[in-house]
Chains A and B, each alone.
Chain A
Amino acid sequence: MDVQIALMLAQDGLTNGAIYALLALALVLVFAVTRVIFIPQGEFVAYGALTLAMLQGGSMPATAWLLAGMGALVALIDGATALRNGQTQKLAGVLGWNVGYPLGLVALLTLLPVKDLPLVAQVVLALAVVVPMGPLLYRLVFQPIASAPILILLIVSVAVHVAMVGLGLLFFGAEGQRTPAFSDANFEIGPLMVSGQTVWVVMASVVLILALYQFFERTLYGKALRATAINRNGARLMGISPALAGKLTFFVAALIGALSGVLIAPITTIYYDTGFLIGLKGFVAAIIGGLASYPLAAVGAVLVGLLESFSSFWASAFKEVIVFTLIIPVLLWRSLTTRHVEEEE
């Protein structure tokens, strides 16, 4: 292996690592706030990428109908609750967000010449379809069991993952998709050829991570999420409802997932079930951070990305094996160095 190949592999590793870092952050966040190990994180990656591909192909993405269906369900449940409690003034908001928004979006997708819009607009539309599914998913599935033990939450999380992969096959078919790159530019740095998309991915990850940092450090809603993660009871007494925190967290996680999908769709071919493996690598990174530390998780993500790209060069058949085996020494080391923490009540 010469320097040039090594640099190329490092570039690949960094690109993937940046995506894993984003996903790892989302996983840590979701776990800290809601105690859910968010297995379906990867499905948001696939949904984001494939929804964009369908928009570019000129067809109405089936995910838009899924959004409308989920919205209708939530409207039914929340609407009935509001009526029963006599809070009729809430009704307009419930209907508007859960029924009005999806239908409006479907109308927009039908009326606009989506196929010929600039890429940025297509990306925004794809995100507008996929991201709201995050909070809706929380409302429908996790909010009713919010105080269940971690194990139950994990089982439900796996079930959601399986359901979403199945729906993915139904919506997008078994064909893989690759979307056009954000930019065709190539940069030569010394012996290294850097593609425009790589720059996009790394820059977008860095910007997103910095934006998340600002969100959690500077805004009251970000602080409210941190507060919920630190002390759920205390947060409730401040009027930060677990339901609100959960929905907000799932919104952020879905945004990160879908955006990651849109970013890597030009680099790798995405199938309906690709998301799981990508999410799993983010998960390995999150585990390296102990599901608690954001910086450690980000470092772990880059490590996973590099390990993956170098092992695909030396032993491509064992690439995944090597990456997932990494988790064993890490877990061993963690279990030896950290004291055991009982599950909180």
Chain B
Amino acid sequence: MTDLNIVTLVSVGAHPTSGRARRAEQDARAVELGLRLAGEHLRVVHAGDPREEALRAYLGMGLPELTVLEQPAGADALPALADFLAEAGAQLVLTGSQAETGEGSGLLPYLLAERLGWPLVVGLAAVEKVEQGHAQVLQALPRGQRRRLKVRLPFLASVDNAAPVARQSAFGPARRGELQVEAVPALTDELFADAQLQPARPRPKRLKVIKAKTAADRFKAATAKASGDGGQVLRDLTPEAGAEAIFKLLVEEGVVR
């Protein structure tokens, strides 16, 4: 699989308690996955400030170099990355699911896939094999379940915490690695420039009522597939009917009032 042209996109993360810049957790997992697949041939790309020291933490994972598409803060990374990936002839692009800094909307993989016209696999856990222009991958589902997918190349994949843990970043390779700067036209992200940032509130969660009495029950509850209580599978609907059904559910659940 080493002849596969793999690109991992990385961002600058923030430590959850101190807020200090670091390698982003999920992006580092994407690099780990890429390193396991392509070794030193892996290309790692960041759009932003090449003087950011936290980027060296990715180099410390054993990368000889990291490409930085130089952009001022607040610029839209999407066009620059899309152009780069199209030109680089990437066959598999790995990203984290959501950035730890900036907008952090988690939309970048979707927007990139849309712009490039490539399929997107979310929650990639492993790439099993690549042959004849197709990759067989495992997608992570809740409760430790895995779904085997066959995807044609090129495609994008985002990783979350189901992907293998990133290896330790070491000082020596981090210091030796090179940050290759490429100049790209800067496009201001207008939506982001006008928007106001406020700290996120934790999402409300349903209270988990543990009914299980025995360890065996608890194990079963933790590993069983989500049973469809009240859900239904709708097939071959018109978009209107589908939207209708979704709207009805949202009203029922009290999300829309």
Do A and B truly interact? no
List B residues at the A interface (Cβ < 8 Å): none
